[in-house]
Chains A and B, each alone.
Chain A
């Protein structure tokens, strides 16, 4: 039987079709499982939505009927009132001014914290002398929560604006510093050795090895620091602010505009989440070498 003759081809055919069959089956299986995954994610989304609706409904009823079961719902605005208040709010420029003020304070305070904590952390992580001389005073200050700094901050600075930025800075500083130190200390020493034996000078080692090597840890610190700086800022604004989302929320309480309290809280949550997401997003852009979580390539 000659290769390529009809008989030969015929003999080959069954096996080829069998192979094709299995491939098709596999394809169908992956499609089915993809469809299955889609269905199951749809189901869990539906369950989540129903649950959320039930809670909101319960809240609505509790507020509407001024329920008093240990918690007093008497003055708590119902979700429907919050939605109405949101509609009104979006028509006034005041809310944007509040948000803009807070974002600006975060931007400056967090920026200063980043620019000071990262270089300081690199030095402390790299040089024993820097660690020995700088860490003790920092360790004394570190356990003091940023909020506890508010009175001193008011005394330290001539304007409320500066003291609020300072509180934001304090909130972000320590998480960033500690993560940077940790990043440098956990860097594989052999990478530093390798760079030295390839001709790197002391500054090269910092720029080419220590900074990028500590980067994943620094980005984690920035993300945590972003959260704590929002937390600190909102508290500072409630106490000594004029404008700002924390001030807005507290003002709503003092003026008895209760739906606005909830709006303020939601805005704070959204802003905090958004800025942490931004930090992580920028971090990923800065570190193309980092494998995304869970991927195998």
Chain B
């Protein structure tokens, strides 16, 4: 007899031998080749790699935008077939609906579930408060700064209480200070909302600072080169960024990243 957990942790992701290619025949491009990856429920994993290595393709596949050419891709044991509100996606920038106010953007997921307007407004306002943007509810996205827009993006996804949040270089267009604030906010929300986070980035500092584990991808076609567990204590604060332990993990991550590049060029030369 098994013990039933009161609240089973959800959001485990499993990729086995995942290949993805775009196009047909001679023009076909292999984006991912033989990806094996497990993300535990509630884990925060970063995917690190050079530009164009297929990091975003992984996000697209788990989100259900991109079909897997071969291999298995499951979330909580169920094969991914289509996009759904259980897997929220935060893109790089400018993906709020420009024609909707901040409040309408955040309430969008609820509207899609046919939640009534009063209830929708109440819940959306609650989530907006979580990201500190209560005063901007009636603004349109173009009236907000880049950092604020990304906070609305997070709120818009969180309103659906997703199992998984997939983030595709969400902070890369922000200035250093705003980016650091956003990273800390993400960690807080991750803690509060109990969800799995897959965070794609090309920034080593960001990957190490946020994650439980860093997955390093090779150049295109992307495959998993190395996995680096990050055993730094939580909660993580700005002080950590200059600590000795952080530096040593960062050095390790950098070496793996450089190695993966070198190995590739050697393979290319042969």
Q: Which among A188, A195, A198 is the interface contact of B94 at CB below 8 angstroms?
A: A188
Complex: A198 Cα to B85 Cα, angstroms: 5
Main SS at interface, chain A = helix
Q: Tell me which of B112, B142, B143 contacts A198 (CB under 8 A).
A: B112
Segment of A20-28, A209-217, A234-242, A251-259 in the binding face: A209-217
- Chain A residue at smallest Cβ distance from B159: A198
Residues in A with CB closer than 8 Å to B142 are 289, 291
Determine if B113 is an interface residue (Cβ-Cβ < 8 Å).
yes
Q: Interface-forming stretch among B34-42, B95-103, B250-258? A: B95-103
CB of B143 within 8 A of CB of A188, answer no
| Docked-complex contact A196 and B95, CB < 8 angstroms | no
Tell me whether B84 is interfacial, beta carbon within 8 Å: yes
CA gap between A190 and B143 in the complex, in Å: 20
Within residues 232 to 287 of chain A, which ones have a CB less than 8 A from any CB in chain B?
287
Question: 1/0 contact trace for A190-206 toward B, CB 8 Å?
Answer: 11011111111100100
- Are the CB atoms of B83 and A197 closer together than 8 Å? yes
A194 close to B85 (CB less than 8 A): no
Number of chain A interface residues as a range? 20 to 34
Contact A198 B140 (CB under 8 A): no
A198 and B95 contact, CB distance less than 8 A: no
Interfacial chain B residues near A199, Cβ < 8 Å: 84-85, 109, 112-113, 160
A-B pairs with beta carbons under 8 A, tally: 65
Interface residues of B in 75-120 (CB under 8 A from A): 82-85, 87-89, 91, 94-95, 97-100, 108-109, 111-113
Provide the residues of chain B in CB contact with A198, threshold 8 Å.
85, 88, 108-109, 112, 156-157, 160
Q: Are B140 and A289 in contact (CB under 8 A)?
A: yes
Nearest neighbor of B109 in chain A, beta-carbon distance: A198
Whether, in the assembled complex, B65 has its beta carbon less than 8 Å from a beta carbon of chain A, the answer is yes
Chain A contacts with B in 69-90, Cβ cutoff 8 A:
none
Write the B134-158 contact mask toward A (1 if CB under 8 angstroms, else 0): 0000001011000000000000110
CA distance A13 to B248 in the complex (A): 56
Contact of B65 among A193, A213, A215, A297 (CB under 8 A): A193
Cβ A196 vs Cβ B108 within 8 A: no
Check A208 for interface membership: any CB of B closer than 8 A.
Answer: yes
CA distance A196 to B81 in the complex (A): 12
Selected contact of A197 from candidates B64, B98, B100, B111, CB within 8 Å:
B64
| B65 CB contacts on chain A under 8 angstroms | 193, 196-197
Residue of A nearest to B142 (CB): A291
B63 at the interface (CB under 8 A from A): yes
Which residues of A lie under 8 Å from residue B99 when comparing CB positions? 212-213, 215, 287, 289
26 cross-chain CB contacts under 8 A: A191-B95, A193-B65, A193-B83, A193-B91, A194-B91, A194-B95, A195-B108, A196-B83, A197-B63, A197-B65, A197-B84, A197-B85, A197-B87, A198-B85, A198-B109, A198-B112, A198-B157, A199-B109, A199-B112, A199-B113, A199-B160, A201-B112, A212-B99, A287-B99, A289-B140, A291-B142
Known A-B contacts: A194-B97, A289-B140. Give 18 more (CB < 8 A): A193-B91, A194-B89, A196-B82, A197-B63, A197-B83, A197-B87, A197-B89, A198-B112, A198-B157, A200-B112, A208-B108, A208-B111, A209-B97, A212-B97, A215-B99, A288-B140, A289-B142, A291-B142
Q: Which 6 A-B pairs have the closest CB atoms?
A: A199-B85, A199-B112, A196-B83, A212-B99, A197-B83, A198-B109
